[in-house]
Amino acid sequence: MIQSCQNETSINFKRYYVNGKGLYEKNCQNCHGSDGKGLGTLYPPLTDSSYLNLNRNKLACIIRNGQTGTVRVNNIAYDGIMPGNQTLADIDIAQVIVYITNSFGNKQDFYDSEFAKNDLVNCK
């Protein structure tokens, strides 16, 4: 019973991760790079696990609505404008989050479309 549950989560995780990779390449990679290292101080890297962890519940809103103002990543300030993406559905955003938070040296928990839906309600 436990075994099968684990397997289902694991399959789901892989499904999200693979789809998330495709969505990342299409929507995020130009600026953040195939290695997630960003570009100079123009575009922040996605390699700061503690930033991603601390802001885990805000990631969905950032992806959908973009972000302005200064952010500190790996203790470096970035003040560019990140454009939002209104065309991504809740599940797409969850898949991108699973990919980003489990690539580039990050390793975080599974995040499904229900999490994204709940987080998106609280966007400011």
Partner 1 sequence: MKKVVLVALASLIFQSCVNTSERKLPILGEREPVEKTVDGKLLIDTIYQTVPAFSYFNQDSIPVTNKDFDNKIYVTDFFFTSCNTICPIMHRNMLNVYTKFKGNPKVKFLSHTIDIKYDLPSKLKSYASKLGIEGNQWEFVHGSRDSIFGIAAKSYLVSAFEDSADPQGLVHQGWFILVDTKKQLRGAYDGTKNDQVNQLMKDMELLLKEEFGSEK
Q: Give contact residues for partner 1 (rule: CB under 8 A).
A: 30-31, 33, 39-43, 80-81, 83
| Smallest separation, CB 107 to partner 1 (Å) | 26
Closer residue to partner 1, CB minimum distance, 22 or 83: 83
Contact 26, 63 (CB under 8 A): no
Here the tokens at position 54 are 């601390």
Q: How many angstroms from the chain centroid is the CA of residue 7?
A: 23
- Find the largest Cα–Cα distance for the chain: 49
CA distance 41 to 44: 6
Provide the token pair at 32: 């953040």
Q: Which is nearer to partner 1, 12 or 30 (CB)?
A: 30
Least distance (Å) between residue 81 CB and partner 1: 7
Nearest distance from C-beta of residue 39 to partner 1, angstroms: 5
By beta-carbon proximity to partner 1, the closer residue of 84 and 112 is: 84
* Element of type H or E holding 73: strand 71-73
Both tokens assigned to 56: 């885990």
The minimum distance between CB 82 and partner 1, in angstroms, equals 9
Is the CB of 85 or the CB of 108 nearer to partner 1?
Answer: 85
